[in-house]
């Protein structure tokens, strides 16, 4: 057995209310030997919270502003250069666009993005894609404004103010800035300090490691940890969270649920964290709730997080139903030659029918017959009982990577996902969706507990988050969580994104067996 020693600094005698650092005009002193550092195994750590509080002075507000301004204006400068280059190219390409007007518009474009908040500090969880959409959306609004002012511009500026030409130029500038945000902007992994109970910190670390978009640099615990946290520097007590964030150059302090901090203490911690140039994020305890479904409300002196119910009925569901049935009908017609060819290959490869019919559980627990190209021998169901010992899946699933029942053509069909083409008929009949949770077998549903049954409130799908995230490589718990996340956070945009990712998953063949 391997024993893991967690390095801690006990702060047992420290008060919970954090000392709020005040900005200082003097230059910060170099760290002394009393600077809070994690202790190694076997070392005694008797530094108090008061000592630690005074070791990491707050960064002066003027210094924080100067650093942020440097980062902002460097990005603005790059956008300005790109905008001038794009404007010059557009001015040469469009004979009706004066070069002087193009240069003036390119010079004003970064200032317009600045006023729209495009260059604000990236918050925790914000991606480059969101920045690119911000630039594109600013361009759309500007184009609408230019076209709305078309009569006035044409009357006052003459040929120099041609609205259509200006709108084309703005579109080019917006596309340039969006490409800069998406491609040229350097990716940044936010450095985090986690604060909370040891077990909560451990679970948060696992979630963040799986996402691989953040770097956990330290943890402030409510008590000494008995769960392994690896080599992560840990500190006992939340009083010094701001100072720990400063010492580890963290971008944010994440206070997890159960940290036992009152409202006043969280507010004071926010002041302390902001004073050292970091952000404070407070965990809500919600699981797999998309940001679009949550908003902060203030009512009766309380700050509340309102979670919008999942969209299980309504007009958007009707749109999904119509679009999917029409798309499945068109797809079945267009792919008919391929379907007939695959059916012939299945019949020639092994005896038995080309189409395999199986009972599956649909929305609200209703049974339906699902169609697939037969990829196994006709005795596969009878042979399953003899292969239970070789089951490689957990939970209620039954999966064998090198299943002896799979035929030669069936193995190819599974790798390419062509065995699922007949399910287009299920979509046309309204029994399945193009995108949805994994269709379950009746014996699997009989062993469901509470969470997996959430999958049954919508139609199962030919593809879904489970397929684009690994398919058979996923554990049972991961598969259930992905399906429940899809059900609760469904949107038409999410369906479109899954369809795009499905093409990549089919090409990569990851988890297909």
The encoded tokens of residue 278 equal 């970091």
Please tell me the least confidently modeled range out of 48-52, 79-83, 450-454.
48-52
Could you count the other beta carbons within 10 Å of the beta carbon of residue 411? Answer: 16
> How remote is the C-alpha of 311 from its chain's centroid?
20
Q: Which of 86-90, 117-121, 307-311, 390-394 has the lowest mean pLDDT?
A: 390-394
| Chain Cα centroid distance, residue 463 | 19
Beta bridge partners of 193: 218, 253
Q: Residue 462 — very low, low, confident or very high, per pLDDT cuts 50/70/90?
A: very high
**Nearest residue to 283 via CA among 318, 256, 245, 261:** 256
Q: Residue 4: is its pLDDT beyond 90?
A: no
State the pLDDT at residue 187. Answer: 58
Instruction: Say yes or no to pLDDT of 332 above 90.
Output: yes
Which of these, 343, 332, 362, lies nearest to 442 by C-alpha position? Answer: 362
**Fold that domain 191-287 belongs to in CATH:** 3.40.640
Distances (CA, A) of 210 to 200, 214, 395, 473: 16, 10, 21, 15
Structure tokens given for 231: 């080599």
Q: Would you say residue 58 has pLDDT above 50?
A: no
pLDDT of residue 432: 95
Q: Are 194 and 254 in contact (CB under 8 A)?
A: yes
H/E/C letters for each residue in 112-141?
Answer: HHHHCCCCCCCCCCCCHHHHHHHHHHHHHH
Choose between 22 and 229: higher pLDDT: 229
Structure confidence at residue 45 as a pLDDT band (50, 70, 90): very low
Contact present, 288 and 481 (Cβ < 8 Å): yes
HSE (CB half, 13 Å, CA atoms) of 383? 11
What's the rounded Cα separation, in Å, for the pair 488 and 288? 8
Coil, strand or helix: which one is 351? coil
- Domain parsing of the chain, residue ranges: 61-185, 191-287, 315-508
Contact (CB, 8 A) for 350 and 377 = yes
- Nearest-5° Cα angle at 443, 437 to 444: 35
Please report the pLDDT score of residue 392 as a whole number.
Answer: 66
Confidence category of residue 151, pLDDT binned at 50, 70, 90: low
- Res. 30: pLDDT tops 90: no
pLDDT for res 395? 63
Residue 330: predicted pLDDT:
96
Both tokens assigned to 406: 């799979």
Q: Where are the beta strands (DSSP E) in 446-485?
A: 461-463
pTM for this entry: 0.70
Q: Which helix (H) or strand (E) holds 223?
A: none
pLDDT of residue 181 exceeding 80, the answer is no
Instruction: Report the distance separating Cα 87 and Cα 101, nearest Å.
Output: 9
Please report, for residues 327, 364, 463, the alpha-carbon distance to residue 338 in angstroms, rounded to integers and kept in the order given: 17, 33, 19
pLDDT tens, 226-266? 888 888 898 988 888 899 998 888 889 999 988 778 888 88
CB atoms within 10 A of CB 444: 18
Q: Which two tokens stand for residue 218?
A: 């330290």
Q: Is 339 in contact with 419 (CB distance < 8 Å)? A: no
Nearest to 359 by CA among 386, 381, 328: 381
State the Cα angle at 357 between 351 and 363, rounded to 5°: 165
The 8 Å CB, 24+ separation contacts for 178-184 are: 178/132, 178/133, 178/135, 178/136, 178/139, 179/132, 180/78, 180/79, 180/82, 180/135, 181/128, 181/131, 181/132, 181/134, 181/135, 182/128, 182/129, 182/131, 182/132, 184/78
Q: Is the pLDDT of residue 456 over 70?
A: yes
Give burial (CB, 10 Å; 0-12/13-18/19+) of 364: exposed
Percent of the chain residues topping a pLDDT of 70: 76
- Report the Cα 50 to chain-centroid distance in Å: 39
């Amino acid at each position: 057995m391997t024993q893991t020693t967690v390095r801690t600094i006990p702060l047992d005698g420290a008060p919970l209310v954090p000392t709020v650092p005040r900005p200082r005009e003097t230059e910060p002193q170099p760290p002394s030997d009393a600077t809070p550092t994690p202790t190694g195994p076997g070392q005694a750590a008797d530094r108090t919270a008061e000592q630690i509080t005074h070791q990491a002075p707050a960064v002066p507000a003027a210094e924080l502003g100067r650093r942020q301004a440097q980062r902002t204006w460097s990005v603005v400068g790059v956008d300005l250069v790109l905008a001038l280059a794009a404007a010059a190219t557009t001015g040469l390409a469009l004979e009706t666009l004066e070069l002087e007007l193009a240069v003036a518009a390119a010079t004003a474009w970064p200032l317009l993005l600045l006023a729209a908040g495009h260059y604000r500090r990236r918050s925790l969880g914000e991606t480059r894609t969101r920045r690119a959409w911000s630039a594109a959306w600013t361009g759309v609004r500007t184009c609408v404004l230019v076209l709305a002012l078309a009569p006035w511009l044409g009357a006052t500026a003459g040929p120099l103010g041609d609205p259509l030409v200006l709108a084309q130029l703005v579109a080019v500038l917006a596309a340039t800035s969006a490409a800069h945000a998406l491609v040229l902007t350097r990716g940044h992994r936010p450095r985090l300090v986690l604060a909370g109970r040891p077990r909560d910190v451990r679970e948060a670390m696992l979630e963040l490691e799986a996402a691989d978009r953040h770097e956990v640099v330290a943890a402030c615990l409510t008590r000494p940890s008995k769960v392994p946290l690896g080599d992560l520097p840990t500190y006992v007590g939340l009083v010094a969270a701001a100072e720990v964030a400063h010492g580890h150059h963290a971008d944010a302090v994440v206070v997890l649920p159960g940290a036992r901090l009152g409202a006043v203490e969280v507010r004071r911690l926010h002041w302390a964290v902001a004073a050292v140039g970091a952000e404070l994020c407070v965990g809500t305890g919600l699981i797999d709730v998309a940001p679009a479904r949550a908003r902060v409300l203030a009512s009766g002196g309380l700050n509340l997080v309102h979670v919008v119910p999942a969209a299980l009925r309504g007009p958007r569901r009707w749109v999904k139903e119509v679009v999917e049935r029409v798309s499945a009908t068109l797809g079945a017609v267009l792919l008919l030659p391929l379907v007939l060819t695959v059916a012939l290959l299945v019949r020639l490869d092994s005896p038995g029918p080309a189409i395999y019919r199986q009972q599956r559980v649909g929305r609200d627990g209703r049974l339906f017959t699902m169609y697939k190209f037969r990829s196994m021998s006709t005795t596969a169901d009878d042979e399953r009982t003899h292969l239970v010992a070789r089951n490689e899946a957990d939970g209620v699933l039954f999966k064998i990577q090198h299943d002896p029942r799979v035929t030669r053509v069936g193995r190819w069909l599974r790798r390419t996902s062509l065995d699922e083409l007949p399910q287009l008929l299920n979509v046309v009949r309204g029994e399945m969706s193009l995108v949805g949770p994994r269709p379950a077998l009746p014996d699997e549903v009989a062993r469901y507990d509470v969470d997996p049954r959430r999958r049954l409130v919508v139609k199962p799908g030919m593809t879904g988050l489970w397929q684009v995230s690994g398919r058979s490589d996923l554990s049972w718990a991961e598969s259930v969580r992905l399906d429940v996340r899809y059900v609760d956070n469904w949107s038409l945009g999410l369906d479109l994104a899954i369809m795009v990712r499905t093409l990549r998953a089919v090409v990569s063949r990851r988890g297909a067996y």
